[in-house]
Homo-oligomer: A and B are copies of this chain.
Amino acid sequence: MLEKSHKYITCSTCVGRKSSLLGSLCEDEIDHMNDHKACNYYKKHQSLFLEGSFPRGVFCINAGMVKIFQRGDEGKEQIIHIAKAGEMVGFRSMFSEIPYKVTAETLEESNICFIGKDDFLNMMDANPVLRNGIIKELSRELADRADFITNMAQKSVRERLAFTMIILLDIYEKEPINLSREDLANFVGTATETLIRLLKDFKEEGIIEVQTRKISIINKEKLFSIAGK
């Protein structure tokens, strides 16, 4: 259970911050940010922002996980990214000055801070390291999305599932993957039924272990060879 009061979250001690884009801030900047941020406790399935709305700032995840998705024509979600503690979300649309094209929603209870647009842009102006870090991050994500597109376009659902699980392995680290079958299907880009059948195959092939919702990967090598990496 997370601490529901947020008065204890301070930027200077935030574990996520240090390894994030905001790791380069000096003490003054951290203090300034700390004074200007607002922290919130989010329950599971709460949204940070909605597709179509205008960005007012950025969100820093102190604890928890957030799915970033788009809704297709029939309302089916396509998950684009899953963000975890230490990551910032919502800044891409803020820079592009267009409404959000994606929705961000917690996958579990989370502590998330908010920094207003002007405060954040000022920090960027004053801090070349932060600025360059952001440019680098945006560029990396573009490269990742190119891979994502090629995978979607050219690979079978089975291969895409393997690829997605490798991504999830990175996100969940030692923890078992804890996503609904539907979310998983919406990340892979397939029907929930197809996903369930493939999970069964993977289980029978000794690639994963399943405990209802939680999926542990027990044969990484096989996963990599299926994904074709």
Chain A residues at the B interface, C-beta cutoff of 8 Å: 70, 72-74, 76, 78, 80, 91-98, 101-102, 125, 128, 131-132, 134-136, 138-143, 145-150, 152-155, 189, 228
Contact = CB atoms under 8 A, between A and B. Distances in A.
Contacts of A76: 154
B134 A135 contact: yes
A96 B140 contact: yes
9 contacts: A70-B150, A78-B150, A93-B143, A96-B143, A98-B140, A135-B135, A138-B138, A138-B142, A145-B149
B142 A142 contact: yes
Given A73-B228, A154-B189, A80 B139 contact: no
Could you say how many copies of this chain the assembly holds?
2
Contacts of A91: 139
A147 B228 contact: no
Contacts of A125: 128
Contact of A143 (B72, B92, B150): B92
A149 B146 contact: no
A163 to B, nearest CB: 11
**Taking each of A102, A128, A143, A147, which has the highest tally of chain B beta carbons within 10 Å of its own beta carbon?**
A143
A136 B70 contact: no
A98 B145 contact: no
A219 to B, nearest CB: 20
**Taking each of A78, A102, A136, which has the highest tally of chain B beta carbons within 10 Å of its own beta carbon?**
A78
Contacts of A128: 125
Contacts of A92: 139, 142-143
Given A135-B135, A138-B139, A146 B96 contact: no
A16 B46 CA distance: 45
Contacts of A141: 142
**Taking each of A147, A149, A152, A228, which has the highest tally of chain B beta carbons within 10 Å of its own beta carbon?**
A149
Given A92-B139, A101-B146, A141-B142, 4 more contacts: A72-B155, A73-B155, A73-B228, A97-B136
